[in-house]
């Protein structure tokens, strides 16, 4: 914990500030007073029992600064109780991971003295966020001073104020010392080593650490592919029928790495205590609206929205919209092929160096257009999914991911499929693959890390200078630090990062048998991606709240779906190679039947393999069942003691 910064609370004692709440500057006094009261109230009285103080402007404070910035902290006891409430798992004395309970605290391995240092700052911030999110309206009909900001018993106060725009943001503070250490071991020293995943998890939480773990795993898993690909590239450039072996390797590799990742991710999640964590009951997402009714599960008053209406919106609006976009994307693809043909015509008429260069222009333009279309579509998809009015954040995310995935997949790969299977032009396929891959990589790096960084530099040149100072000067006052961080961009989650990996995985697995260098390019990209992602997390964005996660969720499914499509594609490419065709000189039918048979065999093996390889390693399975067994035994004993 950061000792250098502290705030005096109303009793005169100090507390470490963990989370910042920013309200709009013209917020009514009575609303502020009411909110702070609720935050400070005891939990028995329905409060959050947190410590909260207004941020006193620092020396450089100007009148332009928003006065309604509050820092929130909590007593150690409150945090420990909170750790029990949110269901944190910690290492027990016997080396197993157990749900933390306050009563049992001294039996946990890292609990020393009064428990200082037992919870990481990210965990404390998560606990405070949980406390704030669960601050619920009692019998208030609206937020004091705002008659239109309706409340009903059980409604989350923070969420209502946020959705109505009074609450600007709630974000956790960076921890400068820790961040400096993390940055150094993560991306500042150039060396060949694994990422400090445990430290990343310690600072950013499990969701983020799993992303970086997956990125690293994915990169390592690609290295064999890349190594095999280089000699293919160097010696057999035009001899693509030799790639049949390569494609075979590819297929086995895809299935195996995805299965092994599940096991690795289970090991990581077990060590971080998220594997056996029970999911709490999910509250409606902030944007959800509807007629007030009674939730059949909780019995609480809550807005309800008819499922039939939602289905209508999905099937009558969203699905046609997605199809329309797919059609549009197909149309753009056709224009690209026209351009391609036109460039080829010019080059064939009078081939010079410049017309040779011209051949690459359509692909580059197409790649840029694809990126732009993806971006626009992304906003449309978010709007539409929001409009579908899903009750839960998780369903919202699933529908959004599905929409975006389908379009991105189509957009990025349609032209390649067209070239491969309709035009059957392997040279063009290889060339398009290379340009698409390289262009989208460069664009991505720019869009992801450098653009936000540059935008931020422009937005507050003055602040930037202060930020530079932050990096060097540890003794920057709290108010300055809060102001600096409040102006940083907000990190919107790992969605885009996973999407990028997903598309790269597609390039490697779908067509690598015609362009083995793809794996090399992706490895290179991923290495820089680790650095740029790490940089943006540490320097460009506000600290995100840590998100407990036991696996990479819907992305595992997406990657598995891609690997199934890869089997089909690669089998088709193998069937089209002259080498294989030469085995069946007399009958094309025989060839196709053999290829189809082989493909079915591969698909069946894939499913059997997925079924046979256990998702959780044996030693972790044993630990998990021991925990379950003990809780069953405890329950038995308790009911015996209770009843008899």
Q: Which of 568, 439, 417, 557 is nearest to 504 (CA)?
A: 439
CB 626 to a second copy: min, Å? 5
CB 640 to a second copy: min, Å? 8
Q: Is 636 in the site for a second copy (CB under 8 A)?
A: yes
* Residue closer to a second copy (CB basis): 516 or 575: 575
Number of residues that bind a second copy (CB under 8 A): 35
* Residue closer to a second copy (CB basis): 473 or 588: 588
Chain Cα centroid distance, residue 192: 25
Q: Is 25 in the site for a second copy (CB under 8 A)?
A: no
Q: Is 102 in the site for a second copy (CB under 8 A)?
A: yes
CB 424 to a second copy: min, Å? 13
Q: Is 589 in the site for a second copy (CB under 8 A)?
A: yes
**Span 296-315, contacts to a second copy by CB under 8 A:** 296-299, 307
**CB atoms closer than 10 angstroms to residue 563:** 24
* 3-state SS track over 102-126: CCCHHHECCCCCCCCCCCCHHHHHH
CB 618 to a second copy: min, Å? 8
The residue within the footprint of a second copy, chosen from 427, 592, 601, 615 (CB under 8 A), is 592
* Residue closer to a second copy (CB basis): 353 or 611: 611
The residue within the footprint of a second copy, chosen from 141, 319, 471, 596 (CB under 8 A), is 596
The residue within the footprint of a second copy, chosen from 280, 364, 372, 446 (CB under 8 A), is 280
Question: Residue 225 in contact with residue 253, Cβ under 8 Å?
Answer: yes
Question: Residue 249 in contact with residue 570, Cβ under 8 Å?
Answer: no
Strand partners, 72: 19, 52
Rounded (10°) angle between helices 361-387 and 393-417: 160
Q: Is the dihedral of CA 484, 486, 487, 491 positive or negative?
A: positive
Distance, CA of 385 to CA of 1 (rounded, Å): 40
Q: Is 643 in the site for a second copy (CB under 8 A)?
A: yes
Q: Is 109 in the site for a second copy (CB under 8 A)?
A: no
Q: Which of 175, 201, 127 is nearest to 16 (CA)?
A: 175
Q: Which of 370, 384, 272 is nearest to 321 (CA)?
A: 384
**Span 62-91, contacts to a second copy by CB under 8 A:** 81, 84-85
Distance, CA of 392 to CA of 513 (rounded, Å): 41
* Residue closer to a second copy (CB basis): 184 or 601: 601
For the chain, give the number of residues: 644
Q: Is 593 in the site for a second copy (CB under 8 A)?
A: yes
Q: Is 191 in the site for a second copy (CB under 8 A)?
A: no
Strand partners, 143: 146
Burial of 297 (0-12, 13-18, 19+ CB in 10 A): exposed
The residue within the footprint of a second copy, chosen from 3, 64, 148, 278 (CB under 8 A), is 278
* Residue closer to a second copy (CB basis): 27 or 389: 389
Q: Residues interacting with a second copy, by CB under 8 A? A: 43, 81, 84-85, 101-103, 278, 280-281, 296-299, 307, 568, 588-589, 592-593, 596, 600, 618, 622, 625-626, 628-629, 632, 636, 639-640, 642-644
């Amino acid at each position: 914990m950061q000792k250098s910064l502290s705030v005096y609370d109303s009793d005169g004692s100090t507390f470490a500030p963990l989370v910042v709440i920013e309200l709009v500057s013209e917020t009514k006094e009575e609303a502020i007073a009411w909110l702070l009261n609720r935050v400070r109230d005891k939990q028995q009285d329905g409060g959050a029992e947190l410590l909260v103080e207004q941020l006193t402007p620092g020396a450089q404070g100007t009148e332009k600064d928003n006065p309604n910035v509050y820092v929130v902290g909590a007593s150690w006891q409150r945090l420990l109780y909170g750790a029990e409430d949110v269901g944190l798992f910690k290492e027990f004395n016997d080396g197993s991971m157990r749900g933390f309970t306050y009563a049992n605290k001294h039996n946990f391995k890292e609990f020393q003295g009064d428990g200082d240092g037992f919870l990481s700052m990210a965990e404390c911030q998560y606990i405070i966020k949980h406390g704030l999110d669960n601050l619920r309206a009692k019998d208030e009909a609206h937020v004091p001073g705002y008659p239109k900001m309706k409340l009903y018993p059980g409604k989350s106060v923070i969420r209502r104020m946020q959705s109505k725009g009074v609450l600007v943001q709630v974000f956790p503070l960076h921890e400068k010392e820790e961040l400096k250490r993390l940055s150094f071991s993560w991306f500042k020293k150039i060396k060949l080593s694994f990422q400090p995943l445990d430290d990343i998890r310690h600072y950013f939480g499990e969701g983020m650490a799993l992303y970086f773990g997956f990125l690293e795993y994915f990169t390592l898993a690609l290295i064999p592919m890349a190594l095999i690909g280089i000699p293919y590239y160097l010696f057999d450039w035009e001899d693509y029928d030799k790639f049949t072996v390569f494609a075979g390797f590819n297929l086995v590799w895809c299935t195996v790495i995805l299965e092994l990742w599940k096991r690795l991710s289970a090991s990581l999640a077990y060590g971080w205590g998220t594997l056996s964590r029970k999911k709490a009951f999910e509250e409606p997402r902030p944007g959800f609206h509807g007629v007030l009714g009674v939730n059949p599960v909780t019995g609480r008053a809550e807005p309800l929205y008819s499922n039939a209406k939602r289905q209508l919106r999905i099937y009558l609006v969203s699905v046609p919209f997605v199809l329309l976009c797919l059609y549009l994307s197909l149309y753009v693809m056709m224009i690209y092929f026209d351009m391609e043909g036109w460039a080829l015509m010019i080059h064939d008429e009078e081939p010079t160096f410049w017309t040779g260069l011209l051949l690459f222009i359509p692909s580059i333009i197409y790649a840029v257009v694809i990126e732009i279309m993806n971006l626009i579509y992304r906003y449309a998809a978010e709007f539409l999914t929001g409009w579908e009015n899903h009750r839960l954040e998780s369903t919202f995310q699933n529908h959004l991911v599905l929409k975006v995935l389908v379009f991105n997949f189509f957009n990025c790969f349609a032209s390649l499929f067209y070239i491969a299977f309709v035009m059957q032009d392997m040279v063009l396929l290889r060339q398009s693959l290379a340009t698409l891959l390289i262009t989208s990589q460069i664009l991505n790096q720019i869009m992801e890390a450098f653009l936000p960084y540059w935008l931020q530099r422009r937005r507050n040149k003055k602040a930037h200078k202060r930020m530079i100072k932050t990096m060097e000067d540890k003794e920057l006052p709290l108010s300055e630090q809060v102001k600096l961080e409040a102006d940083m961009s907000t990190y919107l989650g790992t969605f885009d990062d996973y999407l990028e990996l997903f598309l790269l995985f597609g390039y490697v697995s779908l067509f690598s048998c015609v362009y083995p260098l793809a794996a090399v390019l992706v490895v290179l990209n991923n290495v820089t991606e680790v650095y740029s992602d790490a940089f943006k997390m540490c320097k460009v964005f506000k600290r995100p709240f840590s998100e407990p996660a036991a696996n990479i969720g819907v992305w595992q499914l997406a990657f598995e779906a891609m690997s199934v499509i890869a089997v089909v594609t690669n089998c088709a490419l193998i069937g089209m190679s002259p080498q294989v065709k030469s085995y069946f000189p007399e009958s094309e039918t025989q060839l196709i039947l053999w290829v189809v048979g082989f493909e079915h065999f591969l698909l069946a093996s894939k499913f059997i393999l997925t079924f046979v390889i256990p998702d959780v390693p044996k030693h972790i399975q044993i630990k998990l069942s021991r925990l379950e067994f003990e809780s069953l035994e405890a329950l038995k004993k308790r009911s015996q003691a209770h009843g008899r």
